[in-house]
């Protein structure tokens, strides 16, 4: 028996002896183990590279190697992606959303390992990005490919993608609740009776393995500074609004800077520009090096002066006003550093940058409030709450933000203010940005699957799948007599008119010529060009189904022609065909 026969025998044995619902639970357990190991491996690689490169750096003096390390890291990543991977592995969470939205449920096999290597090179050598998006892509790819190996259907593949994402977040942060909520809020996977257990198993398994290997300590050591006073709620609301506005700056600023890099056609000019900008920023502001978790730990433990270590500004660490200015400049330039890392060829995400900027925002807001002397607040607590606020707004995931920070730090005593900050921050950014930083690219293309059932069903439908092509085509120069012959055998009462190149010229309606079609003396006098009219509108094959339905509503038409980008005729789309397809997709969607 060869390998293929043994593989098919395994599939048949599984189908015969293990129910699919039970097998999905087994797969979710395996996914939880593999994603947790992948997350721990990535963290270890990043810390190893960073330790080797920076462990001997001076605390009180500027370190000029900051100018070099990020450039080398991005250069190695660029070579690896360009000549080994030969595929785009950036924007990992957006790729997962696309796989879910287009109902494929399939992620390329190389994504199970390529992001680990690329992001460890980028971040370990100073790239100002996070490892979470790469590990989420890795976890989702593990789930998708494991399901594909056992020939699971698309619905199950999508669930396993969610299990991989939940396991990745749970494993890297030891946060099982946040892992589940991330899958529901960010990946917009519906929480149903069929999906809750696999997601729970993957999350708990990944977190448990992470605890077993690394110990029971929380990722950030946080000591609560006094019980939360309800009189501080107004200031907590102020922090929430501030976090929402900073999040808006982060989202739009990063899109602006990344767009600047995209307009550069030469990949080496991109790398050179990004390397110079990133190196200078990290040299001036060392906290921009890597993920920034060391700075977060310093802030939530009341040691903001540590942010100035290794900087030319170290001498000003005891001047509070200059520290506020220093920290504010780090917030200002973080988006440039992150976008320059990704835009110039690095691989990383915005998860860690969101937490980093959030902690700095909380510290600045708390320090300014304390300077007013109106009511004292804890800068440590505000730094913690700021992390939840930024992440909630940037990712449009308030519950994920609350539970992640509570699980990361053990700061459950701040649960109420965490809820307030996250809610206010989310509401603030939602006034300006309807979609998260991950989903806005797909939303602009109409390729985003959401919890809104009607919009989700339309997203799953494609124009090319509802095109009808049984319409008889006629030419503009065709005389009425020949048109009548076409009509005599036609099954439709609309006739598209196209030229020799297939370009759409108009349509002929049977009702418009019914009164002359039996007058034989007119058969040679009238041509189709004189009888045709313009259609109410034309549909492009690239249009989203939501746009198509809007065109139908605006024109009150029942049939509309479909053309390609060169205006060449392809077929017709009818309301009846759309409604029939809609019902079929809705039934399938609801069953899940």
508 CB burial (10 A radius; 0-12, 13-18, 19+): buried
| Lookup: tokens for 288 | 């921009």
In three-state secondary structure terms, 317 is coil
On whether the CB atoms of residues 107 and 168 are closer than 8 A, the answer is no
Q: Treating both helix axes as pointing N-terminal to C-terminal, what angle do 69-80 and 114-124 enclose, rounded to 10 degrees? A: 160
Asked if 299 contacts 384 with a C-beta cutoff of 8 angstroms, the reply is no
| Helices 92-101 and 154-173: angle between axes, nearest 10 degrees | 160
CATH value of 456-591 in 3.90.1150.10, 3.30.420.40, 3.10.580.10, 3.40.50.620: 3.10.580.10
Rounded CA Rg of the chain: 29
Q: Which residue has the higher pLDDT, 357 or 17?
A: 357
- Which pTM does this prediction carry? 0.78
Helices 193-214 and 176-185 pack at an angle, to 10 degrees, of 140
Do residues 26 and 114 make contact, with C-beta atoms less than 8 angstroms apart?
Answer: no
534: burial class by Cβ within 10 Å (0-12, 13-18, 19+)?
A: exposed
Six token digits for residue 406:
């509570």
3-state SS track over 387-418 = HHHHHHHHCCCHHHHHHHHHHHHCCHHHHHHH
Which secondary structure element, helix H or strand E, spans residue 314, and what is its range?
none
257 to 112, 125, 321: CA distances (angstroms): 29, 21, 29
* Domain residue extents for the chain: 3-59+84-214, 456-591
- Per residue in 159-202, pLDDT tens? 899 999 999 999 999 999 999 999 888 876 666 667 789 999 99
Burial status of residue 224 (CB atoms within 10 A of its CB: 0-12, 13-18, 19 or more): middle
Around Cβ 3, how many Cβ atoms within 10 Å?
7
What pLDDT, on a 0 to 100 scale, did the predictor assign at position 451? 46
Query: Lowest-confidence range among 94-108, 170-184, 419-433, 574-588?
Result: 574-588
pLDDT tens-digit series, residues 54-105: 888 887 787 889 999 999 999 999 999 999 998 888 777 777 777 766 556 6
User: Which pLDDT band, with edges at 50, 70 and 90, does 592 fall under?
Assistant: very low
- CA-based end-to-end distance of the chain: 38
State what percent of residues in the chain have pLDDT above 70: 91
In CATH, the architecture of 3-59+84-214 is Orthogonal Bundle (1.10)
DSSP letters for 205-227: HHHHHHHHHH-S--SS-----SP
d(CA 502, CA 207): 59
pLDDT band at 225; cut points 50, 70, 90: low
């Amino acid at each position: 028996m060869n390998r293929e026969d043994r593989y098919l025998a395994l599939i048949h044995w599984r189908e015969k002896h293990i129910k699919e619902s039970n097998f999905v639970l087994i797969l979710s357990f395996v996914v939880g183990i593999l994603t947790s190991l992948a997350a721990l491996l990535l963290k270890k690689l990043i810390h190893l590279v960073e330790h080797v490169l920076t462990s001997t750096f001076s605390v009180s003096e500027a370190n000029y190697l900051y100018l070099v390390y990020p450039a080398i890291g991005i250069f190695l990543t660029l070579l690896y992606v360009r000549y080994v991977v030969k595929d785009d592995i950036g924007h990992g969470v957006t790729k997962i959303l696309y796989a879910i939205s287009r109902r494929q449920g399939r992620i390329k096999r190389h994504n199970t390992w390529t992001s680990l290597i690329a992001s460890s090179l980028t971040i370990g050598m100073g790239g100002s990005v996070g490892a979470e998006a790469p590990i989420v892509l890795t976890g989702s790819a593990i789930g998708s490919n494991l399901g594909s190996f056992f020939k699971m259907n698309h619905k199950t593949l999508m669930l396993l993608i969610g299990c991989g994402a939940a396991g990745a977040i749970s494993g890297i942060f030891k946060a099982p609740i946040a892992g589940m909520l991330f899958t529901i809020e960010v990946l917009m996977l519906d929480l149903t009776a069929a999906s809750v257990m696999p997601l729970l198993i993957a999350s708990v398994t990944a977190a448990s393995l992470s605890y077993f290997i690394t110990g029971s300590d929380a990722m950030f050591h946080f000591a609560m500074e006094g019980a939360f006073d309800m009189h501080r709620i107004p200031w907590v609301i102020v922090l929430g609004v501030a976090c929402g506005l900073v999040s808006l700056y982060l989202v739009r600023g990063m899109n602006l800077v990344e767009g600047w890099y995209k307009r550069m056609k030469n990949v080496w000019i991109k790398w050179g520009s990004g390397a110079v900008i990133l190196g200078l920023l990290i040299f001036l502001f060392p906290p921009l090096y890597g993920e920034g978790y060391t700075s977060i730990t310093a802030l939530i433990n009341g040691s903001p002066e540590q942010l100035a270590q290794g900087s030319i500004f170290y001498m000003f660490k005891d001047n509070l006003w200059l520290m506020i200015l220093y920290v504010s400049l780090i917030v200002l330039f973080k988006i440039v550093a992150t976008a320059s890392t990704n835009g110039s060829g690095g691989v990383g995400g915005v998860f860690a940058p969101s937490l980093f900027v959030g902690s700095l925002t909380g510290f600045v807001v708390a320090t300014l409030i304390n300077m007013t002397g109106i009511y004292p607040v804890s800068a440590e607590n505000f730094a913690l709450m700021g992390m939840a606020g930024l992440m909630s707004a940037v990712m449009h995931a308030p519950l994920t933000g609350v539970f992640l920070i509570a699980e990361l730090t053990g700061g459950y005593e701040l649960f109420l203010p965490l809820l307030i900050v996250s809610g206010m921050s989310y509401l603030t950014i939602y006034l300006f940005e309807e979609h998260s930083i991950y989903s806005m690219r797909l939303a602009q293309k109409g390729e985003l699957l959401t919890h809104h059932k009607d919009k989700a069903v339309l997203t799953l439908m494609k124009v090319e799948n509802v095109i009808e092509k049984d319409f008889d085509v006629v030419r503009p120069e065709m005389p009425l007599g020949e048109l009548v012959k076409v009509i005599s055998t036609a099954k439709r009462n609309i006739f598209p008119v196209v030229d020799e190149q297939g370009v759409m010229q108009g349509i002929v309606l049977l009702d418009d010529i019914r009164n002359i079609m039996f007058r034989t003396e007119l058969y040679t006098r009238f041509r189709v060009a004189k009888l045709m009219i313009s259609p109410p509108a034309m549909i492009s094959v690239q249009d989203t189904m939501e746009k198509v339905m809007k065109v139908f509503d605006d024109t009150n038409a029942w049939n509309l022609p479909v053309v390609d980008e060169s205006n060449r005729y392809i077929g017709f789309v009818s309301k009846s065909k759309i409604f029939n397809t809609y019902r079929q997709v809705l039934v399938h969607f609801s069953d899940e």
